[in-house]
Amino acid sequence: MIVVLKNKVEEEQKRQLIEWLEGQGVRTHLSEGEFSTIIGLVGDTSAIDMPLIESMSIVESVKRISDPFKRCNRKFHPDDTIVDAAGIKIGKGNFCVMAGPCSVESEEQITGIAESVKASGALMLRGGAFKPRTSPYDFQGMGGEGLELLRKAREKTGLPIVSECMGVSDLALFEDVDIIQVGARNMQNFELLKALGKVKNPILLKRGLANTLKEFLMSAEYIMAGGNENVILCERGIRTFDDYTRNTLDLAAVSMLRELTHLPIVVDPSHATGIARLVPPMALAATAAGADGLIIEVHNDPVHALSDGAQSLTPEQFADLMVRINKVREVVA
C-alpha cells in the first residue's frame, strides 16, 4: 500500500502520520521526490483502514499495490534511483561503462587492461576473482589473491572495482570492493541476498539464466528488505531455444524494468551473446534502449584468456566501441 501526501506537508505532521502507521503494525518507507512524497507500507496491510487514512487532511490518496515487490517498485518511489559507487554515479542519466576481463589472471594482465579501458572512457574496472564455472575442471579464479590484484589495479588507475561474490562465506573479503556482483547463477541464492542486504556496498544483481522479471525484482527486494537500497540490475541474456548465441539478450527487459522499478539498469552484452563480434552492436542497441550503463568483457589477449575469451573484446575494439557508444548517447539524449 502507498500513501501519497499532499504538497507542502509539515515535517511534524509527516512524522506523526508515520508513527501512527507503524503503530498499525506495518513498516514504512518514505520517498521524498521532486514532485511528491510517498509513504510505502510494507507488511500485512489487510487490517489497515484505507478510507480512514484517505480522510486525513495531509493525504492526497491511498493505493493498494498488488505487486509482490515493494521497495524496488516505481510506484513506491517514482524518481529514478542514483547509485553511488565510490563517487561514480549510476542511474537517472548517469551512464557508466564497466569493463575488464572475465577473470583476473595476473597483476600485469589486470593492471594493463585497467589502464587501457580507463583511457577509452570506462568508469569502473570489472574482473572475476571467484568464478562460477559450469565445469569443475575449468579455471575457478584466483580467489582472494585476485581481489588483491584488483585493489592494486584500482590504486594504480583510480578506477573503482566490481567483482563477483559467490557465497556468504567469502563476503568478508569484499568489504572494500566498490560494487559486489551477484552472478546469474546466484540470483536466487537467498542466503547470499539476505547477507548482501546487511552490507553497505552497492550490488550489481545479474538476472538469472531462466528467471522472469518478477523473480528478478523479488531478488532485488531481498537485498533492499535487508536494508541495502543500492542495487543495480543487470540484464545479461536468458536461456531460450536458440543456440547460435550463448544466451538471448532480452532488450525489452530494459524498457519493461524502467516502468516497473526505479533502480538503475545496466546491460551485459558479453555474456548475452558469447561472441565478441556481436558485443558492439548489442552494446549500442542497449545504449539506445536507455540502459544506465554497460558491463563489457575486455582482454588483452582473448585467444589465451583463462575464461570467456570468445566474447572478450581487445582493448582496441573496446576503444572503438566507446566512441560509438558516446555517439549513440548523444543521439538518444
Which of 308, 313, 317, 325 binds Mn ion (CB under 5 A)? It is 308
* Among 84-92, 242-250, 286-294, 300-308, the segment contacting Mn ion (CB under 5 A): 300-308
**Helix or strand or coil: residue 206?**
strand
When binding is defined by CB under 6 A, the residue of 183, 197, 302, 315 that contacts ligand PEP is 183
Phi, psi of 96 (to 5 degrees): -130, 125
| Residue 197 in contact with ligand PEP, rule: CB under 6 A | no
Please tell me the distance from the alpha carbon of residue 78 to that of residue 40, in angstroms, as a whole number. 11
CB 66 within 8 A of CB 236: no
Q: Does 246 bind ligand PEP (CB under 6 A)?
A: no
Considering only 230, 271, 299, 322, the residue that binds ligand PEP (CB under 6 A) is 271
Site for ligand PEP in 126-145 (CB under 6 A): 128, 132
Residue with cell 570489472: 126
Gap between the Cα atoms of 154 and 26, Å rounded? 43
Q: Which is nearer to ligand PEP, 70 or 206 (CB)?
A: 206
Contact in structure between 264 and 77 (CB atoms under 8 Å): no
Beta bridge partners of 265: 233
Residue 37: closest CA among 2, 81, 88: 2
Helix (H, G, I), strand (E, B) or coil at 280: helix
Out of ligand PEP, Mn ion, none, what residue 206 binds, judged by CB under 5 to 8 A for its kind, is ligand PEP
Q: Which does 221 bind (CB under 5 to 8 A by kind): Mn ion, ligand PEP, none?
A: none
Query: CA–CA separation, 166 vs 101, rounded Å?
Result: 17
Q: Is residue 102 at the binding interface for ligand PEP, with CB under 6 A as the rule?
A: yes
Strand partners, 91: 94
Residue 299 is a binding residue for ligand PEP (CB under 6 A): no
**Nearer to Mn ion among residue 127 and residue 202 (C-beta):** 127
Residues 69 and 220: their CA atoms lie apart, in Å, by 9
Among Mn ion, ligand PEP, none, the one that 184 touches (CB under a kind-dependent 5 to 8 A) is: ligand PEP
Q: Please choose, out of 104-112, 182-190, 215-223, 250-258, the segment that lies near ligand PEP by the rule CB under 6 A.
A: 182-190
Amino acid at 61: S
Out of 236, 246, 262, 299, the residue judged to bind ligand PEP by CB under 6 A: 236
DSSP designation for 163: E
The residue within the footprint of Mn ion, chosen from 39, 41, 90, 102 (CB under 5 A), is: 102
Cα separation values, 224 from 8, 90, 168, 244, Å: 28, 17, 17, 36
Q: Is 75 in the site for ligand PEP (CB under 6 A)?
A: no
Between residues 102 and 231, which has the closer beta carbon with respect to Mn ion?
102
Residue with cell string 539524449: 333
How far, CA to CA in Å, does 209 sit from each of 249, 309, 326?
11, 20, 29
Residue nearest to Mn ion (CB): 102
Least Å from the CB of residue 187 to ligand PEP: 8
Which of 49-57, 87-95, 179-187, 189-197 is the region at the interface with ligand PEP (rule: CB under 6 A)?
179-187
Q: How far is the CB of 183 from Mn ion (least distance, A)?
A: 9
Where does this chain bind ligand PEP (CB under 6 A)? 102, 128, 132, 183-185, 206, 236, 268, 271
